[in-house]
Structure 1
Amino acid sequence: LSVVQDQIDDLKISLNISLRIVLIGKTGSGKSSSGNAVLGWSEFKSDLSQTSVTKLCQKAQGRVEGRRVEVVDTPGLFDSTMSHHEVNEEMLKCISLLAPGPHVFLLVLQIGRFTPEEKETLNLIMKAFGKDAQKFTIILFTHGDKLEDYGLSLEEFIQKKCDDSCKKLISDCGNRCHVFNNKEKDTERKYIQVRGLIKKIDDVVRANGGGCYTNEMLQEMKRKMEEMEEKFKQEMQKMQQRMEEQRDENEKVLQERDNELKELKTNIKRERTLREEEQKNCNLFFHNITIIGPYFQKCAKMNQSFAQK
């Protein structure tokens, strides 16, 4: 039964009018030159600098073994001259350029240079296109001539030279990877590496039932994102309401404390006034005693004198 299914899938692949490819990667990774290698001529502008040549999605067509191939080159990810929103908007446009949808996302990485930003590339792809995009992704390593410097095959390089984050990225892509030597001058060898990539792309198409990444998948992803955003919005509204209620409660408590403090100050002031008044009366009393005391003594002596007479 599986053999029959494979034959059906192969028939679907052979009946495809064209093979649709999306190139995604950081500026300077060899993304555009890889697209040119697939096409067989220089259609996309490429540059070794870190300044992105590609600002908008570009589409080109070619043929490999008589089979039409459509390639879309996307803006360089993490380009400092473009916001992530602008990059994502351009990436989304490639769906309409490759209607009804791409067969594969080629995530282009350079041998020997795996930056922290590139470790998050797959997450950005899934953020822009949804989790299903992971099933349609192949990692394409460029600058394959460096493998000769290491004296390693691609598999050996991954095993011995790639860190855990790079290995995880490859694993998340189903261990689907290929390598291009962009400096290769021999026409036959260049053709062999392109043909090998096409075969791996066909394997991806076969694994996905002969289908491609469709706009329906994108719409489903957008629907889920909208649901998440709506849920987040509701949670934020609830949180804001709780904060406002807490703020009102705090203001009420503060007002009560303020009233209590004012009342306490008033009582203290009144108590101080009473004490000052009492002290004033007491001082006046003793002052009067001091003044009239001698007079009473004199009167007492006079009374005593009259009594003796």
Structure 2
Amino acid sequence: MSSSKQLFTDEAQPLKRSSSYEIMPPDMSELRVVVLGNSWSERSSVGNFILGKTEFNTEEAPDCCLRVRGQLKEKEIVLINTPDLLLPNISEDKLTEFIENCVSLSDPGPHVFLLVLHPEDFTEEHKKRLQTILELFSDQSFDHSLILISPHREESSGFMENYMNHPPLKEMIRMCRYRYLKQKNLELPELLTRLGQIVKENNGEHLSCDVCKNSATALPDDQPNPTQMENILDADETAGTSRMESSTSYHCK
């Protein structure tokens, strides 16, 4: 496993292949992951990859946050997939509303932000928008973030070999403490191991979200949110070495 010092250098490399399958400290029973990025299709594909089955529709982006709960061996993983928050036409009020919804679905707080970024489509405007979003959650969000770099569409161009020279992506990688993986040829244990490393680096603690401080009293603790609906799904399929059980929550307005 790479040391913390190595992770904070410009020469840091993606996590190498690992046979480890422990993603959380023994005293943790649930890992909550918020998925952000500049492509709904790619975010959903990554979510389905983690769950080992198709839970997210990759074709049609909803105007809401979606939560899927799955069981991985004896641990639970909760994925909160977000709508396309990097679009410039989303107002500040609407953006805050989306983030508050996301915080509600990840209560009491997310452990990791998984940033699924496609270098070709990740512009300077996207970088600034994503930075704003993470800061709205908390100024500590970058310490809980992992970048997953999507494959380049045309391998012959050599773009992926030079992605660190792509200014918006390079700067985002720096802000996320050089925590990143390449999606190409990525295997599930590698990704889960890296998520677990981030949890351990933060002493197993979830993020305390700043945005929820202003809305903490919006609803009584025992009062269900009327905009949240639970739909329990059967999960008899087996994915790799794990049996996944999942439920999907929709949080829309």
TM-score bracket, normalised by the shorter chain, equals 0.5 to 0.7
Q: 1:120 is matched with which residue? A: 128
Structure 2 letter corresponding to 1:170: I
Name structure 1 gaps, 5 residues minimum: 1-9, 182-188, 224-309
User: Does 2:91 correspond to 1:83?
Assistant: yes
Unpaired segments ≥5 residues, structure 2: 1-21, 216-253
Match of 1:172 among 168, 175, 183: 175
Match of 1:247? none
Question: In percent, how many aligned pairs have the same letter?
Answer: 27
TM-score of the two chains, using structure 2 as the length reference? 0.66
Which amino acid in structure 1 is aligned with residue 85 of structure 2? L
**Higher CA-based Rg:** 1
Correspondences of 1:229-268 after superposition (within 5 Å): none
Structure 1 match to 2:77: 69
Corresponding letter in the other structure for 2:208: T
Q: Provide the C-alpha distance between the structure 1 equivalents of 2:112 and 2:146, rounded to a whole number of angstroms.
A: 7
Matched position secondary structure for 2:64: coil
**Over residues 24-73 of structure 1, what are the superposed CA-to-partner deviations in whole Å (9 max), with x where a residue is unaligned?**
122456112211111111111212xxxx6121111002233443211001
| Paired residue type of 2:193 | K
* 1:158 corresponds to 2:163: yes
Q: Name the structure with the higher helix share.
A: 1
Q: Counterpart of 1:20 in structure 2: which amino acid?
A: R
Which residue in 2 is equivalent to 1:198?
192
Partner of 1:257: none
Q: Distance in 1 between matches of 2:152 and 2:86?
A: 25
**Equivalent position amino acid for 1:108 in 2:** V
- Residue 208 of structure 2 corresponds to which residue in structure 1? 214
Mapped contact 1:111–1:146 kept (Cα < 8 A) = no
Q: Distance in 2 between matches of 1:196 and 1:147?
A: 24
Aligned residue for 1:120, secondary structure, equals helix
- The residue number in structure 1 matching 2:250 is none
Larger strand proportion of the pair: 2
d(CA) in 2 for partners of 1:130 and 1:109? 20
| Contact 2:47-2:56 within 8 A present in 1 as well | yes
Among candidates 42, 58, 65, match of residue 46 of structure 1? 58
The answer to whether the 8 Å contact 2:141/2:207 transfers is yes
- Is the 1:45–1:54 Cα contact (8 Å) retained in structure 2? no
Higher relative contact order (CA 8 A, sep 6+): 2
C-alpha displacement of 1:12: 7.0
For 1:133, the aligned partner's letter is S
Deviations 1:171-225 (A, max 9, x none): 11000112324xxxxxxx6xx622211111111111111111124x5456x69xx
Q: Is the 8 A contact 2:64 2:82 kept in 1?
A: yes
Alignment partner, residue 37 of structure 1: 49
**Amino acid in the other structure paired with 1:194:** L
How many equivalent pairs are there?
194
Q: Which residue of 1 aligns with 2:247?
A: none
- Note closer, same or farther for the CA distance 1:130–1:214 as it changes in structure 2 (3 Å cut): closer
SS of the equivalent of 1:13 reads coil
Counterpart amino acid of residue 179 in structure 2: R
The answer to whether the 8 Å contact 2:122/2:168 transfers is no
With over 3 angstroms needed to count, the CA separation of the structure-2 counterparts of 1:88 and 1:26, relative to structure 1, is farther
**Cα distance change on mapping 1:98 and 1:113 into 2, 3 Å:** same
| C-alpha contact 1:29 1:108 (8 A) present in aligned 2 | no
SS of equivalent residue, structure 1 residue 60? strand
Q: Classify 1:115/1:12 alpha carbon distance in 2 versus 1 (closer, same or farther; 3 Å).
A: closer
Q: Which residue of 1 aligns with 2:103?
A: 95
1:250 is aligned to none
